[in-house]
Structure 1
Amino acid sequence: MEADIIISVNDTVVMQNQTPILEDLNFKIRNGEFVYLIGKTGSGKSSLLRTLYADLEAGKGKIQVAGFQVDSPNQKDIPFLRRKLGIIFQDFELFTDRSVEQNLYFVMKATGWNDKTLMKNRIAEVLGNVGLDGIQKKMPHQLSGGEQQRVAIARALVNHPLIVLADEPTGNLDPTVADEILDLFIEINKTGTAVIMATHHHSFLRRFPSRVLYCDNGKIRDVQKDMVLRKFVNEN
């Protein structure tokens, strides 16, 4: 890949249950870009993200993510690929029977951390980065939905990812909290981390205009020019 291209998708088909969901995909994402992934429910947003982190196998085509060949990955490479990625889900996916600290420890141990002092310091750092200083011992049920999503974001940041893939990260949050989470992703992006956010909150595009990949009728429209973007937001 070119030096600043961190995702390259060429002539790709995204599959779900052996059925093509998105076809003839061709796009590149550069280091440090902020990209919205939008479309109706069932249009293929989640399937595309899952394909990018090698959870779904592409039907055909070539996909490179963070230097790894993802369309036909070596299974031994997948854990190393995912260390380059921060993956965030709509429903937080925290272990409800473990503290915040233990949730983050689990991911760190699974990705090769073993120095307890370094782990403790990194946990404090990423929690501070998402505005949650001092909550290490709290259980998920003691946190609001917005706080739980911030923990999930902190978990995604522990390995200094090149790319954050966020699948409807504000889907379960009220509008005010959703805006706060968007602001957090903007701050993450300002550090140089690329962000791809699947979202149905089209108001985000007004608050923070950026590139849009629009899943529609089995294809992806790449909306980049300001005039086209404004027209799209007004129509939707």
Structure 2
Amino acid sequence: MELTSGLLLAIMVLAAISSIQFYKGRKLNLQLMEFYLRSIEEVVKPEDKDYVWLGGYIGFRANYKINRDNIRKFEYTLTLLPRHSILYFPISLVTSRHDKLYIVVRPFAQIKREAHLIQKGYYRLKPGIENEPLLQKEEVEIAGKKYEALFEKRRDMENLKALLENLPNPKDIKHIALTPKTNVFYVQMKPDPDTIKETVEKIVRFANEKLKESPFSS
């Protein structure tokens, strides 16, 4: 196949743009990773920590041993959009939509009942909730966003709802849950550099204060 001068020029321009995007996107993702890591560590103050690189420049997984107050472990996974890839980045805006932070808090207190708040329309495929047929269902509105509430007792859902309403950007929370089977307090969210520290502070405070109270642990 013979390359015309126009096609050759287009290939060269695309290669140049791809190279620029790679370095700019890689730098931004590395800066975001460093910022989120530092911000979260400043809040949780782990006594021991372990990191797993997810490959490329898309994020990492952190495992913190806390062993303080009501938190035994604090774990999170950060996945970032592939800003370094000019070809895949536009696709990821459709498939992934935004950066994601998955937080798992493992408290000392035993969580006795299940409760979920799930932002309506967020999941393309509804997450599997083992005890869903046994849970009460209700739609609630928080900061202008509708959430599907699933719960055993209303007071658990109301406490989760109060937590969301007290966050700087409640709409960034996509799924928050208490799961007694694994004894986990779970938060899936869209992270925001401007509010990440305050958000994590309030999640930690909820685990240390509310999860020790009898409505959750008895």
- Per the TM superposition, whether the score is higher than 0.5 is no
TM-score (norm 2): 0.29
Higher CA-based Rg: 2
TM-score (norm 1): 0.27
Point out which structure has higher relative CO (alpha carbons under 8 A, 6+ apart): 1
